[in-house]
Amino acid sequence: MYPYSFVSSHFLMASSVPKLLLAINFIAFFSIYLPSSTASVAAIARDREIEAGKEARALLQWKNSLDNQSQVILSSWDGSNPCNWVGIACDNAGSVTNISLGNYSLKGTLHNLNFSFFPNLVKLGLHNNLLYGTIPSRIGNLSKLAFLDLAYNGFSGNIPLEISLLSSLDHLAIDHNNISGTIPQEIGELRSLSQLFLHENKLQGNIPSSIGNLSNLVNLYLGDNELSGSIPEELGMLTSLHLFDLARNHLTGSIPSSIGNMTSLAFLYLFSNELSGSIPTELGMLRSLYQLQLWNNSLTGKIPDSIGNLSSMDRLHLFMNKLSGPIPSGINNITHFKSFQLAVNELTVNLPENMSWWIA
């Protein structure tokens, strides 16, 4: 038998082993993980600083490509922290989220603005400047972009197909430029879009039927272009649409009856085209319609009785067509007219009783 002192001392030593190991592990955790965690935080901070530096350099490179007066306007753009510069906003991490430089009279192109360095950009507003050249395809790299406004500039060339990569885009305005070519079919992939402004350009070709996929669209401006072909039936799927403008183009064919499905529509502008056929009865389903402007086309047949259902209408312009037959008595139900114009048609002028509004 072992002496008591030997057994007890060994027993105590053995029972202390788990506690000793626990203490060693505890110390090891703090000696290994805590410095590593601190290092990770420091590394993240360094990465953010590096990214902010890239954004600053990209913006400065673009600034230096603009004309001298523009560079004076952007004189606050200096250093490595763009968050304090005019027209620039950042998130809490110091990354650029907003470039808002509308109405600054900036002159130059976008070719020297490297969009790849702005992974968190949400808004790009450059409207009403003196920018020109094409819209770079690299704009498709702005994966978080929700708002893009390039209106009232001198941009030319085509709408880049890469715009369809901007899956978060809610607002797209390229109006009042010199954009040519066709509206790409791929634009129908912008499912988040609620505002689409492409008017006052030189766009040609057919209206892509894929626009009918933009179920969130509220305002659709395609007027004052050189669009041709017929109005796609698929546009009738835009049941959230408030304003529909196709005026001053070269559209042919008839007005699709599917427009009657646009029950939220308040403004319908199809004037100054080459539309033919009759006014669809289904227009009478648009109970929210405030203005209906179909003038200067080649529409034939009678004015449908269902027009009388549009009791909220303020303006009805059907002049300069080939409409015939009597004026429907249901028009008497519309009591808020400010302008009601039917001249230069082949109508039987037998005005319904109590019609007190002006017919030019």
Q: Which class in CATH covers the domain with range 10-147+156-172?
A: alpha beta
Best CA proximity match to 313, nearest among 339, 291, 330: 291
pLDDT in tens, 68-104: 999 999 999 999 999 999 999 999 999 999 999 999 9
Using the Cα atoms of residue 71, residue 73, residue 79 and residue 83 in order, give the sign of their dihedral.
negative
Q: Is the pLDDT at 19 greater than 80, yes or no?
A: no
Torsion from C-alpha of 311, 314, 319, 323, nearest 10 degrees: -10
The pLDDT mean for the chain works out to 88
pLDDT for 336: 83
Q: Which pLDDT does position 231 carry in this prediction? A: 98
**Cα dihedral 297, 240, 100, 146 in deg (nearest 10):** -120
Mean pLDDT of 125-143: 97
Reference 108, options 167, 59, 145; nearest CA is 59
pLDDT at 46 over 80: no
Tell me which residue of 296, 245, 252 sits closest to 277, measured CA to CA: 252
* Start and end residues for every CATH 3.80.10.10 domain found in the chain: 10-147+156-172, 180-360
Q: How far apart are CA 247 and CA 223, in angstroms?
A: 5
Where does the pLDDT of residue 332 fall: very low under 50, low under 70, confident under 90, or very high at 90 and above?
confident
**What is the percent of the chain where pLDDT is above 70?**
82
Sheet holding 226-229, edge to edge: 204-205, 226-229, 250-251
pLDDT 10s digits, 158-202 = 999 999 999 999 999 999 999 999 999 999 999 999 999 999 999
Which pLDDT band holds residue 59 (cuts at 50, 70, 90)?
very high
- d(CA 159, CA 137) in angstroms, rounded, equals 9
Residue 30 has pLDDT above 90, yes or no: no
For the stretch 204-221, pLDDT in tens is: 999 999 999 999 999 999
Look up residue 111 and give its two tokens. Answer: 């070719």
The values of phi and psi at residue 137, to 5°, are -65, -25
- The more confidently predicted of residues 136 and 19 is 136
In this structure, of 9-23, 55-69, 247-261, the range with the lowest mean pLDDT score is: 9-23
What pLDDT was estimated at residue 247?
98
**Sorting pLDDT into bands at 50, 70 and 90, what band is 349?**
low
Superfamily for domain range 180-360: Ribonuclease Inhibitor (3.80.10.10)
Per-residue pLDDT averaged across 223-251, rounded?
98
Give pLDDT, residue 335: 84
Over residues 138-158, the mean pLDDT reads 97
What is the pLDDT at residue 14? 42
Element (H, E) at 11: helix 4-65
- Rounded average pLDDT over 220-230: 98
Of 5-19, 75-89, 90-104, 118-132, the range with the lowest mean pLDDT is 5-19
